[in-house]
Structure 1
């Protein structure tokens, strides 16, 4: 068993890089209908909430309501736009495998889809979260470069023992990031755009903090894995996010090794505060 809790070797049926065949023809009508239900719900909700690069990517990839996308068809357009592809995996993969795929512009996606009675919450990412949530942003050249840089940085972080810090960067950007737009705050994180409830909560609810993005500050901030976030970070632009990731992380890791973690809902005097949350939702769930 690896240090991240995953087996060291791929499960039966998976290749050495943990990829499997999507077997698109093996999906049943009920599975396709779950995709249609989820897609229609999010597609109606996200205009005016999701950022323009996400909405453009959704349209460019033609992720409409015909059912679970065939990765072979999807990859033709995605590869043309940014050189990325989607590869099917049997579930969560070891960190090193995940980073290796990202570093080579491959996004690992679960093949399975949640059941009809699990529409609003699923502990392990499924094909809707992975493809609807993540892949549209990979059509944007700047974000596509950010994800590749993150993969390369992840391989380095593994060797330096700083993966917990780098994981927070992924969580607060790729999964639960907000971005400034001319019209106000918009969503780009996959964990938000693939969730009806969090698409509303992240922008409208008075409970969470919404703070300006700062790389080291984010990497010192733990996160919630089991409920809505108590803090969201707002990037000024995708280019600013990429630029922050391309710097030398060695001095950052050295400072982080001497710095304590921050409270998940803590606000620092130097934070740019878009909204100071009441934390009422988190208190109600304590």
Structure 2
């Protein structure tokens, strides 16, 4: 049976990606990385994207990300997934698998629960250098994969996949997807190891979310701008909060460490889902009296 593309949110066009691909896309939506299809221009675009982001991350990305980035390997061209997997599996027993684009929730969660991270294998065009709506191979590789070399973070992603499969059965995917958005995609961290509070660029605030780390504009906005809310992470507060998909975030949730993130998301969320469903949703820029505001 042929797999079909998946649409998240409002869109006037179908998701990009060759989901037919001569029968190579498997029922779980994984496929071979079509490495021969990358052009010289693709490799050059990837190189320029990598160089730009790598130059920006000092003082803006968390120490764990900066330490892990070299493990990604090739930066002058799009890496081969099997080369990354040779290092990644040895480090944390994770591997990356190619997918043609956005995939449905259950296959996505199932892959995460089995320590397989889906990576879109196509790359944006040069005209989309500064902004792209959908995740591409650069976003997935540069933004997500380096932290999979961190054992605590890697275990958290697997637990998220397992928890998301349960949330799907309970009809709570929307609540858990907000937690994913505000942590794995757009999370911030108060970095204290080896740093003096108040030193450097905006003290010790650093990015760990892939959507921030792979975007030159969002990276600077999230850490440096005075505009957005920055609130200490509470799973319940986060699950109530809507988010933007076509602009910089208006609120960021902040953790102190990956161990704290792991511990906060370890309890059974079943009663939490029921509480969240009984409460009103919050706007993306909402600020509540009980919020713990993190100073910039």
Instruction: Give your verdict on TM over 0.5.
Output: yes
- The structure-2 alpha-carbon separation of the partners of 1:43 and 1:5, relative to structure 1 and needing over 3 Å to count, comes to closer
Q: Distance in 1 between matches of 2:40 and 2:54?
A: 21
Check if 1:88 corresponds to 2:88: no
Quote how far apart the aligned CAs of 1:197 are. 0.6
Indicate if the aligned counterparts of 2:7 and 2:102 stay in contact, CA closer than 8 A. no
Task: Quote the offset at 1:25 in angstroms.
Answer: 3.0
Q: Paired residue for 1:19, among 24, 30, 33?
A: 30
Distance (whole Å) between structure 2 residues aligned to residue 210 and residue 179 of structure 1: 10
Post-superposition offset of 1:13: 2.8
2-side partners of 1:24 and 1:235: how far apart? 37
Tell me which residue corresponds to 2:154.
144
Which position in structure 2 is the counterpart of 1:261? Answer: 281
Whole-angstrom CA distance in 1 between matches of 2:51 and 2:72? 16
Query: 1 CA distance for matches of 2:238 and 2:107?
Result: 24
Distance in 1, Cα, partners of 2:288 & 2:221: 23
Q: 2:183 aligned with 1:173, yes or no? A: yes
* Alignment partner of 1:153 is 2:163: yes
Aligned to 2:237: 217
In structure 2, stretches of 5+ residues that fail to align are: 9-13, 196-203
2:11 corresponds in structure 1 to none
Q: Output one character per residue of 1:24-67: Cα deviation in whole Å (capped at 9) or x when no partner.
A: 233111000011000000011101110111111112232x4221
Q: Distance in 1 between matches of 2:215 and 2:72?
A: 20
- Distance in 1, matches of 2:191 and 2:116, equals 28
On the 8 A contact 2:240/2:282 being kept in 1, the answer is yes
Q: How far apart in 2 are the matches of 1:272 and 1:154?
A: 27
**Contact preservation (8 Å) 1:54, 1:136:** yes
SS in 2 for 1:108: strand
Residues 209 and 275 of structure 1 are in contact (CA less than 8 Å); yes or no, is this contact kept in structure 2?
Answer: no
- Corresponding residue number in structure 2 for 1:69: 79
Shift of residue 246, structure 1, vs aligned partner: 1.2
* Contact 2:24 2:32 (8 Å CA) reproduced: no
CA displacement at 1:267 relative to structure 2: 1.2
- 1:132 corresponds to which residue? 142
RMSD: 1.7
Q: Residues of 2 paired with 1:179 and 1:199: CA distance?
A: 13
User: Take 2:24 and 2:281, find their aligned partners in 1: how far apart are those partners?
Assistant: 40
Aligned residues: 272
Superposed CA deviations along residues 206-256 of structure 1, whole A, max 9, x for unmatched, are 111111111110011010000000000101110011111110111111211
Pairing 1:231–2:242 present:
no
Q: 2:49 aligned with 1:29, yes or no? A: no
C-alpha contact 1:51 1:186 (8 A) present in aligned 2: yes
Q: 1:148-194: per-residue Cα shift (whole Å, max 9, x none)?
A: 01000111111111110000000000000000112401000000000
State the Cα distance separating 1:275 from its structure 2 match.
4.2
